[in-house]
């Protein structure tokens, strides 16, 4: 895999750079000289600017306690000066061996490490210190095909601190194999940073939130994760002669189940469970295919009280979960202090 070879190459270059700079007590500006020398000897060479060389060194320094260049090739890595070695660095792509102290890293995680790009790795290194957190973002980036931009949003939101399993009754009402998949498929909190709404009134029509999500459905699907397919919003179902509309309806390929989302602007209320139970019963009778699993409902609200959610699930047999969302409506303190208040802004506009 070309991406894996690139990461091995960058790790090796980072090793060489770090060794030479430390041994010779060179300043960081030596990287500019190395980059210039590379350009002289290999005109048109891309990816080896001083800033990129600096990133390679940081990449090595961040992982050198967990990976090592295999002993079998150490004799080939004797440093003879970067000006001589780097132009032929393509001969130095070497295997990496995990040497961490936290137990074995699975082959799946290792494949995910080499699956994501160097840009992904650098973003993760910049925003995390703990190796466990790094593996979390590596895994999520690989399985969900996160772009660097999306990864940056997740890092800024500190998703690793919030990505616990949502409140649900899956284990009580679904077969074990399906319930385990369902638990892994959903998050406790979703970042909807593209939604900008005021929260002064929790009773404002949820259609405002729904509209923002539908306008950014691609981003919402990325927030949900892999295997979700969007079927529609305000999805109409008929029960006898009455119409009912589900806010958002999806199908999950892995679960082989319909997924109904009910959007709430404010805090979770127990009565929401009864409404969702009705939707799921109707979906199972009217829309679900014979080979598919029971439909699942997710109530997405601004806040929730865990004990109220637990009590609400009792005596209901349909699989449901309650998750929360976070929007961009609240400015960070540093930005809030920097901006003028509404009255001052109005005067400036006049």
* Per-residue model confidence as pLDDT tens digits over 172-231: 999 998 998 898 888 888 888 777 665 545 445 688 889 889 999 988 988 887 789 999
Asked if residue 336 is part of any domain, the answer here is no
- The pTM assigned to this predicted structure is 0.61
Contact at 8 Å (CB) between 182 and 217?
Answer: no
Q: Within this chain, do residues 286 and 217 fall inside the same structural domain, yes or no?
A: yes
Q: Within this chain, do residues 96 and 59 fall inside the same structural domain, yes or no?
A: yes
Domain that holds residue 116: 2-157
Asked if residue 335 is part of any domain, the answer here is no
Domain count, the chain: 2
Question: Number of helices and strands (H, E) in the chain?
Answer: 17, 9
pLDDT in tens, 51-65: 888 899 899 999 988
- Residue 233 is encoded by which pair of tokens? 């919003």
Asked if residue 333 is part of any domain, the answer here is no
Contact at 8 Å (CB) between 188 and 150?
Answer: no
Asked if residue 227 is part of any domain, the answer here is yes
Angle (CA) 258 264 265, round 5°: 150
Rounded to an integer, what distance in angstroms lies between the CA atom of residue 188 and that of residue 338?
32
- Classify strands 320-327 and 189-192 as parallel, antiparallel or unpaired: parallel
- Classify strands 96-98 and 67-69 as parallel, antiparallel or unpaired: antiparallel
Q: Within this chain, do residues 194 and 260 fall inside the same structural domain, yes or no?
A: yes
- Residue 41 is encoded by which pair of tokens? 């000897």
Q: Within this chain, do residues 192 and 140 fall inside the same structural domain, yes or no?
A: no
pLDDT, residue 97, reads 57
Asked if residue 344 is part of any domain, the answer here is no
Closest alpha carbon to 120 in 150, 160, 161: 150
Rounded to an integer, what distance in angstroms lies between the CA atom of residue 23 and that of residue 116?
32
Q: Within this chain, do residues 184 and 296 fall inside the same structural domain, yes or no?
A: yes
Q: What is the three-class DSSP state of 235? A: strand
Asked if residue 338 is part of any domain, the answer here is no
Rounded to an integer, what distance in angstroms lies between the CA atom of residue 265 and that of residue 134?
33
Q: Within this chain, do residues 144 and 182 fall inside the same structural domain, yes or no?
A: no
Q: Please identify, among 122, 157, 192, the residue that sits at the C-terminal boundary of a domain.
A: 157
The H or E element spanning position 250 is strand 242-252
Rounded to an integer, what distance in angstroms lies between the CA atom of residue 104 and that of residue 90?
29
Closest alpha carbon to 77 in 17, 154, 139, 144: 17
Q: What is the three-class DSSP state of 227? A: coil
Q: Please identify, among 157, 189, 206, the residue that sits at the C-terminal boundary of a domain.
A: 157
pLDDT, residue 173, reads 94
Rounded to an integer, what distance in angstroms lies between the CA atom of residue 292 and that of residue 256?
5
- Residue 346 is encoded by which pair of tokens? 């109005």
DSSP state of 339: S
Q: Within this chain, do residues 220 and 235 fall inside the same structural domain, yes or no?
A: yes
In this prediction, the residues of the chain whose per-residue pLDDT falls under 50 are 71-93, 101, 200, 202-203, 329-331, 334-335, 345
Q: Please identify, among 130, 157, 184, the residue that sits at the C-terminal boundary of a domain.
A: 157
DSSP state of 290: T
Q: Within this chain, do residues 59 and 138 fall inside the same structural domain, yes or no?
A: yes
- Classify strands 296-301 and 67-69 as parallel, antiparallel or unpaired: unpaired
Q: Which residues contact 145 (CB under 8 A, 6 or more apart)?
A: 226
Rounded to an integer, what distance in angstroms lies between the CA atom of residue 46 and that of residue 338?
40
pLDDT, residue 237, reads 95
Q: Within this chain, do residues 25 and 43 fall inside the same structural domain, yes or no?
A: yes
Write b or e for each residue in 156-178: b if 16 or more Cβ atoms lie within 10 A of its Cβ, otherwise e.
ebebbeebeebbbbbeebbeeeb
Q: Within this chain, do residues 320 and 183 fall inside the same structural domain, yes or no?
A: yes
Q: Within this chain, do residues 180 and 145 fall inside the same structural domain, yes or no?
A: no
Rounded to an integer, what distance in angstroms lies between the CA atom of residue 270 and that of residue 248?
20
Asked if residue 195 is part of any domain, the answer here is yes
pLDDT, residue 73, reads 37
Rounded to an integer, what distance in angstroms lies between the CA atom of residue 295 and that of residue 252?
10
Burial class of residue 252 in the structure, from the number of CB atoms within 10 Å of its CB (0-12 exposed, 13-18 middle, 19+ buried): buried
- Residue 333 dihedral angles phi and psi, to the nearest 5°: -55, -40
Looking at residue 184, which CATH number applies to its domain? 3.40.1350.10
Asked if residue 350 is part of any domain, the answer here is no
**Residue whose pair of structure tokens reads 């449901």 in the numeric block:** 320
Q: Within this chain, do residues 153 and 181 fall inside the same structural domain, yes or no?
A: no
């Amino acid at each position: 895999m070309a991406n894996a070879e690139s990461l091995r190459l960058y790790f090796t270059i980072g090793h060489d750079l770090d060794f030479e700079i430390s041994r010779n007590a060179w300043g960081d500006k030596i990287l500019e000289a190395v980059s210039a020398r590379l350009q002289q000897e290999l005109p048109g060479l891309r990816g080896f600017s001083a800033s990129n060389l600096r990133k390679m060194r940081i990449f090595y320094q961040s992982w050198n306690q967990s990976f090592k260049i295999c002993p079998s090739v150490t004799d080939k890595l004797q440093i003879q000066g970067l000006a001589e070695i780097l132009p032929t660095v393509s001969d130095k792509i070497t295997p990496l061996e995990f040497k961490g102290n936290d137990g074995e890293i699975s082959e799946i995680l290792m494949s995910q490490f080499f699956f994501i790009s160097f840009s992904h790795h650098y973003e993760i290194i910049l925003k995390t210190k703990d190796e466990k957190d790094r593996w979390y973002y590596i895994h999520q980036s690989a399985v969900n095909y996160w772009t660097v931009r999306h990864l940056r949003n997740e890092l800024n939101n500190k998703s690793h601190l919030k990505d616990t399993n949502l409140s649900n009754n899956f284990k009580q009402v679904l077969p074990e194999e399906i319930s385990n998949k369902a638990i892994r498929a959903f998050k406790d909190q979703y970042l909807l940073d593209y939604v900008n709404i005021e929260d002064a009134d929790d009773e404002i029509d949820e259609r405002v939130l729904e509209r923002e999500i539908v306008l950014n459905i691609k981003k919402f699907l990325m927030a949900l994760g892999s295997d979700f397919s969007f079927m529609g919003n305000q999805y109409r179902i008929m029960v006898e002669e009455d119409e009912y509309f589900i806010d958002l309806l999806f199908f999950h390929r892995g679960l082989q189940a319909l997924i109904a989302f009910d959007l709430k602007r404010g805090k979770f209320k127990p009565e929401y469970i009864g409404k969702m139970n009705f939707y799921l019963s109707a979906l199972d009778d009217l829309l679900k295919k014979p080979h598919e699993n029971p439909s699942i409902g997710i109530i997405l609200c601004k806040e929730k009280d865990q004990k109220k959610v637990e009590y609400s699930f009792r005596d209901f047999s349909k699989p449901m979960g309650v998750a929360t969302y976070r929007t961009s409506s609240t400015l960070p303190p540093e930005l809030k202090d920097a901006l003028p208040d509404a009255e001052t802004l109005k005067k400036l506009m006049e």
